């Protein structure tokens, strides 16, 4: 699933504090966005996320023969890697175009920079025309964005025409700055062996210098909120323990899938998205050559678009 492990089933947004749409400077479009909800997210986050989804939809190529419509003659269900719940920003557009027009090659030839086709699919059901799916990935940089995906769905319509549905899904979350204390003994533990089936083993622990602890604190503070998700299999990649006056004051564990840094500070817990290359680059630098080989190898699942 693009930047995530293949066993990741889904991503749905969680919560917290944000940037208003006025700060984005994004153009408005006629696309439809998800209904506003303030169940968990602040209104400003919902508005800004909807605006970003509409902006991203407006960038996507559509054959010039396509005619935009408000509804499709035969409704097509949305496609995508994430569920379209109230916390996922979603924008879409409907088109009708001649059956002779090939959508797939046109989209591939006209994708904006930074986008690429990374999945195709085909579906059928009784008493319905087959449906073709095309998934496009994009590097969506920004401190609020943990996921974005673009999907084209086509099927035959009536009178020699076909239907086209274009969907954009964005997980757009508030910015969270996790505060890792440095006043104490900071110990980082990696593993020589990691396994999705059998757990992690051969641990190696390093006590950080004050400078190393400050560097780790910086990259932890830059991690994004975790968008939610689950995996069928997992392995632990890292442990961080901070002890002061013989008492644990802060701890964290990082896993491989779905890619969470789970932080415990007193009675509070926080889950962040650990798929940051900057974070893992710093972590890997703490371990001497030949140690924590499993952690170093599996940390390469980091994604560039998790940074920023």
In a domain, 226, yes or no: yes
In a domain, 62, yes or no: yes
65-120 pLDDT, tens digit per residue, is 999 999 998 888 887 766 667 678 999 999 999 999 999 999 999 999 989 999 99
129 & 209 share domain: no
33 & 161 share domain: yes
In a domain, 145, yes or no: yes
68 & 123 share domain: yes
Mean pLDDT value across the chain? 82
Measured on CA atoms in the order 188, 192, 195, 201, is the torsion positive or negative? Answer: negative
Q: Is-contact 275 246, C-beta < 8 A?
A: no
194 & 286 share domain: yes
What pLDDT score does 125 carry?
64
Domain ranges, residue 130: 21-172
| Total number of domains in the chain | 2
Among 125, 142, 172, the domain-final residue is: 172
217 & 271 share domain: yes
Q: Among 175, 31, 16, which Cα is nearest to 94's?
A: 31
Q: Say which residue, 300 or 271, is predicted with more confidence.
A: 271
277 & 203 share domain: yes
In a domain, 163, yes or no: yes
Q: Is-contact 224 18, C-beta < 8 A?
A: no
What pLDDT score does 23 carry?
32
In a domain, 11, yes or no: no
36 & 70 share domain: yes
171-197 pLDDT, tens digit per residue, is 888 888 889 999 999 999 999 988 777
What pLDDT score does 127 carry?
64
Query: Is residue 37's pLDDT more than 90?
Result: no
Taking CA atoms, 117 is separated from 78, 138, 282, in Å, by: 17, 9, 32
């Amino acid at each position: 699933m693009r930047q995530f492990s293949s066993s990741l089933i889904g991503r749905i947004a969680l919560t917290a504090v944000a940037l208003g749409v006025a700060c984005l400077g994004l153009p408005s479009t006629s696309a439809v966005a998800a209904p506003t909800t303030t169940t968990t997210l602040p209104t400003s986050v919902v508005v800004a996320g909807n605006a970003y989804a509409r902006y991203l939809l407006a960038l996507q190529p559509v054959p010039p023969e396509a005619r935009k419509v408000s509804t499709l003659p035969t409704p097509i269900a949305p496609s995508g890697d994430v569920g379209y719940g109230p916390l996922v920003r979603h924008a879409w557009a409907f088109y009708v175009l001649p059956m002779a027009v090939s959508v797939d090659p046109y989209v591939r030839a006209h994708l904006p920079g930074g986008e690429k086709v990374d999945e195709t699919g085909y579906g059928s059901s009784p008493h319905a025309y087959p449906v073709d799916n095309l998934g496009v990935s994009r590097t969506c940089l920004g401190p609020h964005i943990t996921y974005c995906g673009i999907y084209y769905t086509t099927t035959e319509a009536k009178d020699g025409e076909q239907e086209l549905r274009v969907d954009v899904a964005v997980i757009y979350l508030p910015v969270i700055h996790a505060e890792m204390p440095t006043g104490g003994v900071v110990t980082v533990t990696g593993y020589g062996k990691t396994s999705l089936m059998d757990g992690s083993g051969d641990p190696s622990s390093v006590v950080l210098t004050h400078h190393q602890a400050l560097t780790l604190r910086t990259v932890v503070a830059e991690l994004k909120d975790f968008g939610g998700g689950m995996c069928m299999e997992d392995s632990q990649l890292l442990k961080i323990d901070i002890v002061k006056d013989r008492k644990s004051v802060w701890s964290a564990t990082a896993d491989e899938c779905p890619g969470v840094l789970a932080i415990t500070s007193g009675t509070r817990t926080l889950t962040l998205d650990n798929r940051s290359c900057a974070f893992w680059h710093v972590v890997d630098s703490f371990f001497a050559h030949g140690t924590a080989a499993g952690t170093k190898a599996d940390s390469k699942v980091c994604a560039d678009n998790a940074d920023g």
